[in-house]
């Protein structure tokens, strides 16, 4: 994982609104899978530690491409050396932000529920799925039936709790994950998925934006990552060049890479909402993929 610190990068312009869920034995509430919108995750309740600040990680086993109507066996795993209880939530979204395909439990460790406000479908742990007493790592298996042809790239977002088992919301470590699966007929070579810690950031604070890059071509690739802002008036920032990058990215066949970009927001920055855009491509002008989200700077 590559980390880039973009200190003071918003000088022409970030207490972020925390996001998360309480790890209830019966399963978390909907909408805390670190998904686009507010990017809410488990630190909303388990706020002792910052998201992704522990020594563990969250990973998944997923295909690089999908075929319409086919059912795939998927897996999500959280590892942490100090945890003894576990939880997660995951959602699969199409390019419009709607649920894509169908998530289905394969055993009693997971369950599915639908969020009424968005109609998004979430899969998450059950009481037995918290695996109390399991040390070092825990995983969950479930299936996903791919959507109809023409849906395009499906992005999976997830958040997980590596808990200490004290039956409180203190002392736990929260991790997030995002992974793209391309439609097999799309010809997509590589994908970019942006996953910030939050959709807002306070003046004088910092925000980490994770650029999740994945190879779908089955061969090694070299390309560049850049990012920029779209201001409320429609202008780009910076007006020339990039907010971050170009950063060289080298991917082996079917591999993933995460670039952590840290932006420090000056206290003098204006209180505005901007569009954060990221791109991956081949110089000088070949675009491979892009992603974006709305970011609000608050007092």
Confidence class of residue 167 from pLDDT cuts 50, 70 and 90? low
Residue 42 pLDDT: 60
Rounded distance between C-alpha atoms, residue 214 and residue 254, angstroms: 7
Q: How far apart are CA 85 and CA 71, in angstroms?
A: 29
Query: Could you tell me the domains of the chain?
Result: 2-15+198-298 (2.60.40.3880), 42-183 (2.60.40.4060)
Rounded-to-integer distance, Cα 10 and Cα 264, Å: 8
Comparing CA positions, the residue from 193, 20, 212, 201 lying closest to residue 95 is: 193
Residue 30: other Cβ atoms inside 10 A: 20
Q: Which of 295, 234, 239, 242 is nearest to 269 (CA)?
A: 295
Strand, helix or coil at 79?
strand
Exposure b/e, 3-27, CB count within 10 A at least 16 = b? ebebeebbeebbebebbbbebeeeb
Confidence at 157, pLDDT banded by 50, 70, 90: very high
Average pLDDT estimate for 148-160: 96
Whole-number pLDDT of residue 169? 62
User: What pLDDT is recorded for position 194?
Assistant: 97
DSSP 166: S
Of the chain, the percentage scoring pLDDT greater than 90 comes to 69
Centroid of chain to Cα 253? 21
Largest CA distance in the chain: 54
Per cent of the chain over pLDDT 70 is 86
Considering the entire predicted model, what is its pTM? 0.89
pLDDT at 48 over 70: no
pLDDT at position 44 over 80:
no
Separation CA 106–CA 19 (nearest Å): 29
72, 144 Cβ separation under 8 angstroms: yes
Q: What is the pLDDT of residue 55?
A: 84
């Amino acid at each position: 994982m590559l980390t880039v610190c973009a200190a003071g990068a918003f000088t022409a312009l970030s207490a972020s609104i925390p996001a998360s869920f309480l790890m209830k034995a019966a399963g978390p509430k909907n909408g805390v899978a670190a998904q686009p919108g507010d990017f809410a995750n488990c630190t909303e309740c388990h706020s002792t530690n910052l998201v992704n600040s522990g020594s563990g990680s969250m990973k998944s086993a997923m295909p690089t491409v999908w075929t319409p109507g086919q059912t795939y066996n998927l897996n999500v795993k959280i590892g942490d050396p100090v945890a003894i209880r576990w939880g997660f939530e995951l959602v699969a979204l199409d390019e419009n932000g709607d649920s894509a395909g169908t998530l289905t439990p394969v055993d009693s460790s997971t369950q599915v529920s639908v969020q009424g406000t968005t109609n998004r479908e979430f899969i998450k742990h059950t009481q037995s799925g918290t695996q109390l007493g399991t040390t070092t790592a825990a995983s969950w298996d479930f299936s996903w039936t791919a959507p109809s042809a023409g849906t395009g790239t499906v992005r999976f977002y997830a958040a997980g709790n590596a808990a200490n088992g004290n039956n409180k919301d203190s002392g736990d470590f929260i991790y997030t994950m995002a992974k793209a699966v391309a439609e097999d007929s799309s010809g997509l070579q590589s994908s970019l998925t942006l996953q910030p810690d939050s959709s807002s950031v306070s003046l004088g604070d910092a925000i980490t934006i994770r650029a999740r890059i994945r190879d779908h071509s089955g061969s090694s690739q070299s390309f560049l990552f850049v990012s920029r802002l779209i201001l409320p008036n429609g202008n780009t920032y910076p007006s020339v060049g990039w907010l971050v990058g170009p950063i060289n990215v080298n991917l082996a066949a079917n591999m993933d890479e995460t670039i952590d970009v840290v932006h420090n927001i000056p206290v003098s920055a204006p209180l505005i909402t901007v569009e954060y855009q990221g791109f991956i491509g081949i110089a000088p002008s070949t675009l491979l993929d892009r992603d974006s989200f709305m970011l609000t700077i608050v007092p």
